[in-house]
Every structure is written in C-alpha cells, then in structure tokens.
Amino acid sequence: MKKVFLSAALALAVAGSWAFYPKQGPSGTYMQLVFINTVGRGEINLIPDNGLATEIKVKETNLSQARVKAMIKLTELRHEGWRVTQMTSTSYNANSVIETYLLERM
C-alpha cells in the first residue's frame, strides 16, 4: 500500500511540475529590407524569412531622393506591424551606399 501511495504521489508531483515548465513563446517573423544605391542604379530588396526576395526598382539616381523612397517603404512596413531591430550601412563613395534593415513582426 505504501508503494502504491508513493508512486501516485510521485506521479502527481511530476505532472504538477510539468505544468509550470517554461514553454517557448511564439517565434517572431523576420524580414530584411536592403537598400542599394550605386551610380545610376537604385533598388530596394525585401527578403522575408522564407528567402523569396522581392525587388523594387528606384528611378531616382540622386542618393537623397532614393533614400527617401527607402524610408517611405520602411514606414509602410512599420504601419503593417514590423519594427526595425537592426540597421547596417556601408558607403563605398559619395554616390554608392548599401543599407540593410532587419525587421521583426510584432
């Protein structure tokens, strides 16, 4: 009788502690926005976490006007529920720049 009671108490303790075991929360969805502007060529690439890239051509060759287009697209994504978690910028000269934004869906 003692063994049955001890086994039942042990099983109840294991089941009770399993209920409070930390569970992994929902993983966030990530996407990259890559803004590339070189002399005479500008583009915005959206790369979701499945890897299928979408390319948006930018007609402006002026760096500041092309950057405004990228910021407009970034603002549209923020209104859709994305937030910027990391940003990297690389400049090669006065007219060539690559900016990469890592976005996370909230």
pTM: 0.68
- Cα 28 vs. chain centroid, distance in angstroms? 7
pLDDT tens string 1-55: 777 777 777 776 777 666 666 665 456 689 999 998 887 678 899 998 888 888 8
pLDDT tens string 64-77: 788 888 899 999 99
Distance CA(53)–CA(7), nearest Å, equals: 57
Question: Any idea where the domains of the chain sit in the sequence?
Answer: 30-105
- Residue 27: DSSP 8-state: P
Identify the burial level of 53 via C-beta atoms within 10 angstroms of its C-beta, where 0-12 means exposed, 13-18 middle and 19 or more buried. Answer: exposed
pLDDT tens string 90-105: 888 877 888 999 999 8
Distance CA(92)–CA(6), nearest Å, equals: 72
Give residue 8's pLDDT. 76
Where would I find the H helices in 20-95? 63-79
